[in-house]
Amino acid sequence: MFVKEEGKESPVIINQEKTAVLETEGGIRILLRTEAADKITASLEIRQEEEAAVFLHAFKQPEEPFFGPQTHLDPAKGVSYRMTLEGTGRLMAVYQHKNWWIRPAFPACFGDIPKRTQLLLAEKKTGAGSGREYLAVLAVCGEEYRTDIAGDGQELRITAASNCINKSATDDLSLVLAAGSDPYLCCERAVKKALALTGKQKMFRKERTYPEMFDYFGWCSWDAFYHEVSQDGIMKKMDELADKQIPVRWVLIDDGWLDADYKKQVLKGLDAAADKFPGGLGACVSKLKKEYGIRQVGVWHAVMGYWNGLEPGSPAREALQEGSRILEDGRIVPDAEAGKAFRFYDTWHDYLRNICDIDFVKVDGQSAVSLFYAGRKEYGRASGEIQKGLNASAALHFDNQIINCMGMASEDMWNRPSSAVSRSSDDFVPDVPHGFREHAIQNGYNSLLQGQFFWGDWDMFWSDHEENWQNSILRAVSGGPVYTSDKVGRTDGKFIMPLLKKDGRVIRCEEVGMPTLDSLFENPVDTTHVLKLFNRYQDSYVIAAFNINKEDRACEGSVSLADLPGLDGGARILYSYRERKAVRLEAGKDYSFRLEANDGELFLLLPDKEFTVLGVLEKYIGAGCVETVREGKEKTTVILSEGGTFGFLSGRKPAAIMYDGVKAETEGKETEGSGSSLYQARDPFGESDKEGRMVEIIW
């Protein structure tokens, strides 16, 4: 919240070289001013309500004689203005570090804030007034211009650029600021306000619909085969998964299946490469569905068709001609006009859906749009038009079952009308030593921004890998799709099945995984601070903790109620997955643990009640296997979706536990700091394919 000065009404207009001052209720001061530039007249319009919105109005003055040569706003440098923050302490920035990806930074000072920062989160300086306060500064991609934040000495340079030549003026929303005691809510409020001001309210994640197919486990061909994917290879993998009873429900055929010139990186045809898929794509899909029970099959394609567009004179060019455009350099790509872009994708997707029986698509390289259209069309318009066409086609043919990928540039993030899932990190890289470190911080911290728009696809992983445990529990808190890409013969179900029910349904958290409060401003790679990511499942919280420091040192960590927003009062029960240990946590208390180098642990924070069902303890989130609980004075009945060690917390000691009518061997262990105990009842039937199990707790 911001303090309103008496006598000053919103909006406030700040003209050339003047300064506007905003102040939060907690005492953070924000100073905004335009700066002198050659023949550029600029002003800032500040609309202050619960959040503060900054609009930039600027134009390049024409040169006399007016009929002579003119200069325009630089497509890359655009128009800049300045911001100074006073009364802030620690900083965290989410910035675009590659053309397609964003990642976090932990600046020690304002000058360290990276170029192309999209979200800056600042904490109020310790001792500056009472109580915690945070400030979120959000850069917006408007109708034409995108804004970027960068450190410049003790100030911030805010730049709005169009990516288009011959532009003489800008009139766009540039920044939104939100302040308050909850940093997650600050990020959420800033995005919601910006979407409301740009007429895109329905692009907020909570307004979108998560595709039901991604509630089930999948497999992707990429890391298994890379460009050598073939029907024969896929079927060998399906045989292995069936033999190991891994309940894969969808398959994604990634890059390498296409009829393309892989040297020139251009698309030649709409179907599969004949040498890899002799019967065509449709024959492969039919075999997957009929012989292996795969419910959905999807394919990968680039936003441009293939990485470098279409091959001139090819069947693909002929089929997609109405929706494509020839650029000045000869490349053939989707036209950046929504109707034509729709015709491009609609023609191809119609073929994939109706001829090949494809159910979903992964569309890669999306942030290349602004590279292909650099100088030709504005950031907001080029990406906005192509995203409209792509999303309309994906909605029409695949019911919005689309994974957006390599599309974390702000012009893409702000312009997808309907699709709900987007990759939130660079690729999973199985052959890069300690690749998990970067993978974990990107997915966790990027979600503070992208998680406001989409559910994150935290990418595939290998279940047979030196970092399989960390990657597995990372997916437990992601809230998004879960799928692997192991090579033939290499799938290890021990790191897959704890994430799933036996029917392949993912036990999925309900929000998007994000860093805990004590992790927000700490660099877990360059320090020995344990990275903790959290999410919510029903009335519990799931916390994944990781030691990813680059010096490979053991780390001490802790969990407390203060780590999560809104839990600083009352009490909760902390459950440690690997130790199968329960501890009662109250305000001001914490649970300490130790992690060896490159290790992790999973915790549940459960309600502190007389009786709490944990469910099947072999699962990371055992409550996902609980179908029904009927409590009575003499007996409590729990219906499970499947068998396994049944766990519950109770202040009463049970007289016996019956598992499908058979007395179960039971172990009780006192919950530290509580009068209750953790009880574990072993499944007397062991491994069983039986669906639906009944546990009776006799009091």
Q: Is residue 4 part of a domain?
A: no
Please name the residue that has the structure tokens 């850069």: 139
pLDDT of residue 228: 98
Residues 617 and 604 in one domain: no
Domain range for 593 is 516-608
Residues 469 and 549 in one domain: no
pLDDT of residue 689: 76
pLDDT band at 603 (very low <50, low <70, confident <90, very high): very high
Residues 286 and 418 in one domain: yes
Cis peptide before 65 (omega within 30 of 0): yes
pLDDT at 9 over 70: no
In order, the DSSP letters of 485-550 are: -PPTT---GGGTGGGB-TTSBB---SS--EE-GGGTT--TTTSSPPEEEEEEETTEEEEEEE---T
* Residue that finishes a domain, picked among 169, 199, 229: 199
Are 420 and 210 in contact by the 8 Å Cβ rule? The answer is yes
Residues 280 and 300 in one domain: yes
Residues 395 and 246 in one domain: yes
Q: Is residue 6 part of a domain?
A: no
Spatial neighbors of 216 by CB under 8 A, at least 6 apart, are 247, 249, 250, 295, 504, 505, 506
pLDDT of residue 61: 79
Q: Which of 329, 375, 385 is nearest to 72 (CA)?
A: 375
In terms of C-beta distances under 8 Å and separation of at least 24 residues, what long-range contacts does 523-529 make, across chains too? 523/106, 524/440, 524/441, 524/548, 524/549, 525/437, 525/438, 525/441, 525/549, 525/550, 526/106, 526/550, 528/553, 528/555, 528/556, 529/555
Rounded to 10 degrees, the C-alpha dihedral 632/638/639/640 comes to: 170
What digits encode the pLDDT tens for the residues 238-290? 999 999 999 999 999 999 999 999 999 999 999 999 999 999 999 999 999 99
Residues 63 and 102 in one domain: yes
pLDDT of residue 604: 98
**H/E run at residue 361:** strand 360-364
pLDDT band at 671 (very low <50, low <70, confident <90, very high): very high
Q: What's CA 14's distance to the chain center, in Å?
A: 37
Are 249 and 483 in contact by the 8 Å Cβ rule? The answer is no
* Residue that finishes a domain, picked among 450, 479, 507: 507
What digits encode the pLDDT tens for the residues 526-561? 999 999 999 999 999 999 999 999 999 999 999 999
pLDDT band at 127 (very low <50, low <70, confident <90, very high): low
Spatial neighbors of 178 by CB under 8 A, at least 6 apart, are 50, 51, 52, 135, 136, 138, 185, 186, 187, 189, 190, 193
Residues 24 and 142 in one domain: yes
Instruction: Provide the 10 A C-beta neighbour count for residue 548.
Output: 25
Q: Is residue 584 part of a domain?
A: yes
Q: Is residue 206 part of a domain?
A: no
Domain of 585, CATH number, reads 2.60.40.1180
Between these two residues, 209 and 66, which has the higher pLDDT value? Answer: 209
Spatial neighbors of 549 by CB under 8 A, at least 6 apart, are 524, 525, 526, 527, 528, 529, 555, 597
d(CA 310, CA 250): 28
Q: Is residue 179 part of a domain?
A: yes
Residues facing residue 116 across a β-bridge? none
Q: Which of 679, 646, 649, 678 is nearest to 662 (CA)?
A: 646
Residues 533 and 644 in one domain: no
pLDDT at 221 over 90: yes
Q: Is residue 328 part of a domain?
A: yes
Range 567-578 burial, b when 16+ CB lie within 10 A, else e: beeeebbbbbbe
pLDDT band at 66 (very low <50, low <70, confident <90, very high): low
**Total count of residues recorded for the chain:** 699
d(CA 164, CA 686): 65
d(CA 386, CA 333): 11
Residues 248 and 320 in one domain: yes
Residues 636 and 672 in one domain: yes
Q: Which of 61, 45, 207 is nearest to 142 (CA)?
A: 45
Cis peptide before 211 (omega within 30 of 0): no
d(CA 520, CA 384): 31
pLDDT band at 36 (very low <50, low <70, confident <90, very high): confident
pLDDT band at 117 (very low <50, low <70, confident <90, very high): very high
In order, the DSSP letters of 459-470 are: --B-SSSTTHHH
d(CA 293, CA 290): 6
Looking at residues 359-384, what average pLDDT do you find?
Answer: 98
Spatial neighbors of 67 by CB under 8 A, at least 6 apart, are none
Q: Which of 149, 171, 365, 178 is nearest to 255 (CA)?
A: 365
* Residue that finishes a domain, picked among 507, 537, 565: 507
d(CA 658, CA 648): 14
Q: Which of 290, 288, 254, 289 is nearest to 272 (CA)?
A: 254
Looking at residues 623-645, what average pLDDT do you find?
Answer: 96
- When the pLDDT of each residue in the chain is averaged and rounded to a whole number, the result is 95
Looking at residues 444-462, what average pLDDT do you find?
Answer: 98
pLDDT band at 63 (very low <50, low <70, confident <90, very high): confident
Half-sphere exposure (Cβ direction) of 216: Cα atoms closer than 13 Å: 17
d(CA 17, CA 33): 6
pLDDT of residue 35: 85
Residues facing residue 360 across a β-bridge? 298
Spatial neighbors of 134 by CB under 8 A, at least 6 apart, are 121, 122, 123, 124, 179, 180, 181, 182, 183, 186
Residues 154 and 255 in one domain: no
d(CA 498, CA 502): 10
Domain of 389, CATH number, reads 3.20.20.70
> Total domain count for the chain?
4
What digits encode the pLDDT tens for the residues 52-62? 999 999 998 77
Query: What is the longest distance spanned by two Cα atoms in the chain?
Result: 97
Are 268 and 260 in contact by the 8 Å Cβ rule? The answer is yes
d(CA 464, CA 471): 11
pLDDT band at 4 (very low <50, low <70, confident <90, very high): confident
d(CA 443, CA 456): 8
Q: What is the DSSP letter of 458?
A: -
Q: Is residue 145 part of a domain?
A: yes
pLDDT of residue 1: 76
Are 512 and 205 in contact by the 8 Å Cβ rule? The answer is yes
Q: Is residue 381 part of a domain?
A: yes
> Residue 309 burial (CB < 10 Å; 0-12/13-18/19+)?
buried
Q: Is 0.85 topped by the overall pTM?
A: yes
Residues 303 and 392 in one domain: yes
